[in-house]
Each structure stands twice: as structure tokens, then as C-alpha cells.
Chains A and B, each alone.
Chain A
Amino acid sequence: MDLQFLYSLIVSIFIGGVAGYLGSLMVTKRMALVGDALGHAALPGIALALIYGFNPSWGAIPALLLGILLIWFFEIHTKLPMEALTGIVFTASVAIAFLFLPESEVSTALIGDISKISLSDAVFSVILSLTVFFILKKNFSKMILASLSEDLARVEHVDTKKYNFIFLLCIAIIVALGIKVTGSLLMGALVITPAAAARNIASNLFQYSFGALIIGAISCVSGVLLFKAFSLPAGPFVILAASSMFLISLAFKKQ
């Protein structure tokens, strides 16, 4: 097995797993499409990375951080729903990116490219994924409580503003990393589909969140293996694998 492929496989397992785990919270908080929108909000950063020849994830991170800071700032000052504000920020980002994204790089930006991952990229991706996973795991119950009733959570001394910000930050990091695997166009599916599939078959929150993690990781491994077998981009395979698992989950849906 060549090293490059091994790195791709390891990175995709970690990113896919944590994206699924994060997705279980996003679907609960009715923020499923935020991942999709943020994938697009990263485009100006990805475009710059592709033009200057560095890892698209490192270009996506500052673009996303700027995006979530704007969404967070607008939410506090306008009280408009987060999805509306995310919509404004992501469409503006897409518009900016397409002003200077070279035509030859459009495909890489939109559907990703997992074939060129260096050792340092792999190490950073694994460390960041694990960091996000442990932050989410530590605060999972508080975030679920806040999604059920913000007032109740605040009475229980949960700083909901702080946790919303941490949550957005985690989304931004995973979206930035996931862009390498699925590209900005398909990133939303990497967080939504594993969570939706797990929700169909879970009996409790633990099965739901860790089910999403496992389905996310399996989808990514399947996608990367299919990419190796057919020499076609991994992103679409990853999402089709996740979608297939969602369809299978329907057969086992619990009441």
C-alpha cells in the first residue's frame, strides 16, 4: 500500500467520523444545512489556496472563521435566525470566490481532492479532528439541553452564547478539513447524511451520536477505496456511500 493512499485513508476516517458525530448535534439543533452553507463560505479561502498552491483546508480555515464571526456578530445584533444569516454570508462568499477562482481549479474546489495529502497535512488533520471530537464529547449533553430549551439550559448554568460559539468553531474546523475529502459542494452531506441514518436506527442518544460517527467513518473509507479502484474523485463516492447507508437505515427504522 503506498503511503499517500494510507494518509488519505487515515485522514478520511478521522474527518468522516468526527463530521458524523458533529452532524448528530447539528441535525438536533436544526442546523443541518449550516454545514452545507459553510462549505460554500470557505470558497474564497479555497480559491486563494489553489491559486498559491497550498492545502485548501488551510485556506478554508481563515475564510470560515471570518464567516462564523460575521454570522455570530450578526445574530447578536439582529436576532435574525442563524440560517438566514448563514445564507447571506455563504452566498456573498460564493460570489467573491467566483470572481477570482481559476476555471481549471473549479472541480477541485467543488468536489475535493484527497489524492495529495502530505504527512504533515495528515498529522494536523488527525490532531484537529480529535480535538474537535473531545470538545464536542465533553459538552455534548449541555449542547443537547440548550437545543431543547435555551432557558432551561441557562437556569442550569449553561452559558448558551459561549457554547453556540464553540459549536460554530467546531463546525468551521470540520468543514475546513472535510473540504479536502468532499469539496465545498458536497460537504453538507458529510455531516447530515450519517446523522440522519443513525437517527433512524438509534434507541438512545449514545447510539445516535456514535452511530453517526461510525457511519461517517465507513462512508469515507468506502469513498476512498472506490476512488482507488476507479480513479474517479473520492468526494462523490463518499457521499453516495453515506446515502446508501441512509437508505439501508430506513429498512431498520425504529419507532
Chain B
Amino acid sequence: MEKNIILKVENLNVDFGEDKVIEDLSFDLKEKELLVVLGPNGAGKSTLLKTLLGLIPYQGKIQWRDSVHIGYVPNEFVVPENLPLNLKEFFQFKKDTPEKIFQALKWVGIEGSEKILKKKLYTFSSGQLRRTLIAWAMSDEPDVLFLDEPMLYIDIHGRETIYDSLVKIWEEKEQSIILVSHEIGEICKKADKILALNKRKLFYGTPEEIINPQNLAKIYGSPISL
């Protein structure tokens, strides 16, 4: 494996019984690279992330560089109503100190205070919870950050804030990021590579090579206006 490559995927296949979810996929992830995985609903994007994380069985080859530390933001994360889990306790799953918590919250644009440490997670808005989850995943400074549809259930203003936070994190940190999305956002233009997926690899290249009306129509099955 080349020195600056963190992850190399070769001939990856995933199936759920008869249903082939990912077919013969190959790509790699380099240090400090932002890879956006695009595709319509049901294209196998979340399955790809879970497979790379070792959560789903597969055929093919997934090769990680030694001792890579991963941070993960799943697309579904619900805190049960009335569970008295506060923000400080949530970060203590990672044994973080208040200083580390404040630093991680700052990365995602949340002002750290004693008051917010005591706030129960189920009282957070969807956007606040998403940003908290990103901060949580980032708090122990992973080498690679996996984000599965981080804008799900977030309004336009919230999306901008989260996109801004992500771009800032990526520009300031030494992390690689794999971001799964079913929509074309501003972050696609900043990406190093785009992997367009619909069960199999449709396109893999730079945003300039991939993001154009003809390719997007092919990815999504109908014309998309940019």
C-alpha cells in the first residue's frame, strides 16, 4: 500500500441474501482527503460505510493502514425521550474531560459552558444533536471521520452551519473524511474525490470531473439542476 493511503478497497461485494447491495467496488482514501459518496436513496451508501467499519460481512478486500482510529456519525441516532443523559455524561463514554468537550464543541460551533454540560441530550434540537454527535466523534481526534448523511432531518440554516463546521474541521485538522450524502451540496465542490454509487461504482474522480448535468442525470436517474 502506498505511504499516504489510509484505506484501500478492492472488488468489494456485499449482499443481503439474493439482494446485491454493493457490486465489485474499488477505491482508496488518502491522508487528509475528503471523499464524498453520492447516490440516490437505496444506492448502498450507508451499507458501504458500515461495511468499511466492519459492521457488515462482505466479500473482497478492505485494507486499512495499521492502527487507524475512526470516528463515526451514524445517520440514525435517537435519544429516548426522558432519558436523563446529559451532554457531559455522553462525552464521558469517551472519558473526555470538560476541557476536551469544550474544544470539540467549539469545532462544531457550539459555545461550551457549565450549563450546556448539564443539558439533557433529548432536549436538543435535531441540528444541535447532529453537531454534538460530530463533536463527540471528533473529540478523540480520529484519523478518519465517517459521516453518514449528517444533514438528515436538518433545516437549510442548520445544514449551512454543519457544512461550515465540517469544512473548517477538514481544513484545520489532519483528518480524512468520508461523507455520505444523497444530495449535491456545497461540500461536494470542496471534496478531493467524489464516489458516485448506485449499487456499483458509477463515477469516481474529482468534483470537476463528476459534477455536471449529464453525470448527475445518470446518477439520480433524472435531470438535476445545479
Contact = CB atoms under 8 A, between A and B. Distances in A.
Interface stretch (A64-72, A128-136, A145-153, A223-231): A145-153
Given A204-B89, A204-B118, A199 B70 contact: no
A105 interface: no
Contacts of A145: 93
B86 A204 contact: yes
Interface stretch (A1-9, A31-39, A110-118, A205-213): A205-213
A141 interface: yes
Contact of A141 (B54, B77, B80, B92): B92
Given A204-B86, A205-B86, A154 B79 contact: no
B92 A202 contact: no
A30 B72 CA distance: 24
Given A141-B93, A145-B93, A152 B72 contact: yes
B93 A156 contact: yes
A204 B82 CA distance: 10
Interface in B112-126: 118, 120
Interface in B37-60: 50, 53-55
B2 interface: no
Interface of B is mostly: loop
A208 B84 contact: yes
A55 interface: no
A145 B70 CA distance: 17
B74 interface: yes
B111 interface: no
A33 to B, nearest CB: 16
18 contacts: A28-B80, A142-B93, A149-B76, A151-B74, A152-B77, A154-B55, A156-B93, A199-B82, A199-B83, A203-B118, A204-B84, A204-B85, A204-B86, A204-B118, A204-B120, A205-B85, A205-B86, A205-B89
Interface of B: 50, 53-55, 70, 72, 74, 76-80, 82-86, 88-89, 92-94, 118, 120
